[in-house]
Chains A and B, each alone.
Chain A
Amino acid sequence: MRFLFKTDYEDDIRLFPHSGYVVSYGLLLAVLLIAPYLLSSYLMSQLVFVCIYATVGVALLILTGFTGQASLGHAAFLAIGAYTAAYLQKYNVPFPVYFLAAGLLTGCIGALVGFPALRLQGIYLVIATISFAFIVEEILARWESVTNGNEGLRVKALSLLGVTVSRDSPTFYFLCLAVLVLTIVGTLNLLRSPTGRAFVAIRDSETAARSMGVNVALYKVKSFAISAAITGFAGVLFAHKLSFISPEMFTLQLSIEFIIVILIGGTFSLHGAVLGAIFIVMIDPFLTYLKDDLPGIIAGVAATFGAGSATAGNIQSKVAAFASLNGLKGAIYGIIIMLFVLFEPLGIYGRWLKIKLFFQLFPLYKRSTFKRQKIYVKSERNR
């Protein structure tokens, strides 16, 4: 186990507490940079989605994880970013300009949503954000002069410095990765400065935050605006990646997926957003794999255990029928969410920390280190 002896106030401020972090994150970045030359084009495409989802995850973490304001309306922010990009692109606005404009506009709308949200708590806030998302969805479907209604909008490949960047090219992946890394660094910077601490203070006790001089309303609006702006940036990339956008892509379902990203990843650390994004994006190829290969594998296992070829074939077709049942994905989704909330409330990153601690303390690790105290008396109705 490594003990950190702090000798300078810098030790508490710097992003990487010790050299081990520099090495491991450096390695990770190196792997990510050579990934396009190693992975198949399908996996690369999934990796781009991981970057986009992780960016939204970080945005949601700022709002929900650190400021404590739940939102089930982030799909709407993503939509606003995407549509701004698509609309401005039609008028030959260059990419950097509409990229920034999308973020700025989404940020402003986020701030506008933040204002009514000031007076709302918990469940009321959740329903307000859902309502907001519904209204945005309906506007996108009806404001046909701008959004082309339910027909949707085509998004051309983006051009950067006169070069056309196709959505499958490594350059596009690097762009998404850069946006994600910048978002993470910016968020970390925020968290180690007064604004980030004010966010956390609001999450844990608004009364105390106020009595320490935090203008709670202002910081909530700031949190909404930052979160929305980041989601808007991600929306631009999302639009380019899909090359076609329509209102039914930005439904409540998507907002819930974003929440699942941070819930499964872990709501207390930025690692959670990335891990959760990997999980959510990779579950699709994983399920496809199950559908295609699992029946064969199970039949093979059955055959090795002495089942006749007829029985094995029978098993294979039954499993295949089950695996291709409609809605299996939804059921698995549901089960995964419930299992995480029930057994791994700290998410994947929490599990990683536990494993790490287990080896560091071996054999002294005890499970209760991470045990959460249940609060039966503290009502969230009065805050």
Chain B
Amino acid sequence: MSKPSTDRADKQRIAEELEPVVREAHALAKKLGLDPYPVNYWVVDYDEMNALVAYNGFQKRYPHWRWGMTYDQQRKQRQFLGGKAYELVNNDSPAHAFLQESNAMADQKAVITHVAAHSDFFANNQWYGLFADEPNAARMLASHADTIESYMDDPEIDREAVEKWIDNVLCLEDCIDQHQPFSTVDDWLDETPSEADINEKLEELELSEEVLGQVFDEEWLDQQRETEGVASFPVEPENDLISFLRTHGMGYDEGAEKAVEFEDWQREIMELLRREAYYFAPQKMTKVLNEGWAAYWESIMMGEEGFAAESEFIHYADHQAKVLGSPGFNPYKLGKELWEYVENVTNRREVVEHVLRTEGVTWRNFHDTVDLDDVLESLDPDPIVDRVASETIDQLDPEDPRVDAAGLERAKAGEIDVDRFPWKVFTYDGIAERHYSLAKPQNRGFLSQLTQNDVERIARYMFDDARYTSIEEALENVDYRAGWNRMYEIRESHNDVTFLDEFLTQEFVEEHGYFTYEYMETTEDYRVTSTDVADVKKKLMLQFSNFGKPTVVVEDGNYNNRNELLLAHQYNGVMLDIEQAHQVLKRVFKLWGHPVNLKTIVKELSENDIEVARRRDSEPTPEETGKLLRYDGENLSITDIPWKEVEHLAATDVDYDTKPDDWLA
């Protein structure tokens, strides 16, 4: 991508223009409580942006056709959107973010505010800490690229073979143990329980021989020792397939038709790709949360704090609408909505808790004694904070915790334009009050949606319930920061699964029109099946747990006592894509060197079942059957196996099917 020098001059000019914008955005972000990594911005052109997107926001990645594919798709998709603004920031310290030179100033500002929030999330969410506190990602990925390039250039190694090997490993990139802190394969090996462990564990119990003999009969113990010994490993089903294969697997020599030890480069590539999988895992685990977080703060900064100049606002709103308003399910929109919901719920709870502490107010009489409209009115932010202007600036007290005394001084000296940037004279407390969610026009109905049930639930955990003599007094003590404070706690500890699990409510699902759908065998189309929060949650869990993929573990590394590999699909009621699973097995074979097997459960339906159900105007109930998929190096096969062999894999208490019961035959 060689560029004529005028281009460089252009970029230079744009970069200079943007410098103060970046500085201001980060000052504002800090005021709002965000704590991002330092961010370096790069001005790039459209092609470079697409290239960076293909490389996940980095300058250099190992050679692989998949980046080319992403680039191609990216280019096509973005043509469709007119090649507009794009937020790209990588998880690194310092972070690197990219601005497209052809974007309008409004877009650049939106990107910059968005990026600040992402980088805050990277820096502070604990799931990112599982990989490393300071990821040093650009250097790591570049060094991986160098290593793999050197293998490709090595005349002793076939370039195609390297690429194929990468393909084989990448099929399993989501088969890692993403809830564990990252460690190298060697360390991982040390942490894995071994055959000696059973005796150790028994010793730890510190039981007398006599008791031991009574609790565990010899036969069982022998069996345990045996299965954990040479005959069968791993002891526990292993989630980290790449580590397991890297440690115990073998290559396959096509010519000699036998398993052979891995080459060094093969082992090294497995290690590198595994490290990258662990590095990217947190981003995959926090899509809803992280994108919602960025969208939330972007809109606070751009819209509500006037970071977009008035002339830019229409342009910005239009862009926002395009991104968030596209029809259909949009995880980013879900994230933003849920964050806003959490903010509202927390603020509402804060109000209710205070009101309930007023003498004479209980959850029973709450709705009779409290006029929620009056409450809402008295919760409106203090006008001198909410609508500060150069004329009213003298009313601000530098001692007020909401006021940034230094900022105020500079504003008085005329160094700060308060009318344009009012946030500069406030602290976090003051800005939180300015953005108090319940007082916002779109949320004014939220407080009054409160039901007696809600109030009772809140009251249940309260003890100190007669502190205030009047509701007015209670409301004066309401903390305007409650919503934001809670949000900051959540962004530290949650991932998508825990976030959705904890905060999705019926109220939210109804307000935003979420529903579940299923495929109907009889009508051969997808139909709406439920609007119940429990069902919506189930489907979302399916979509966001384990990267939205089924869980497949190593069950036995010496299956049938013939060095074969046995994988097991932990069936949660939704079956595998069998065709793809077969294709994966073919590649796993290359990493194991001996035949590979996979136990799973499939749902079977005959044409007749469907026909019968169709006539009854209901849905057929499929039969669940145990299956063994196998690849022996030449042939793929799928055979029925007895139920007892898969029984342990079947989920007992989770059912991801949301079809109403009366639809079933």
Tell whether A and B belong to one assembly: no
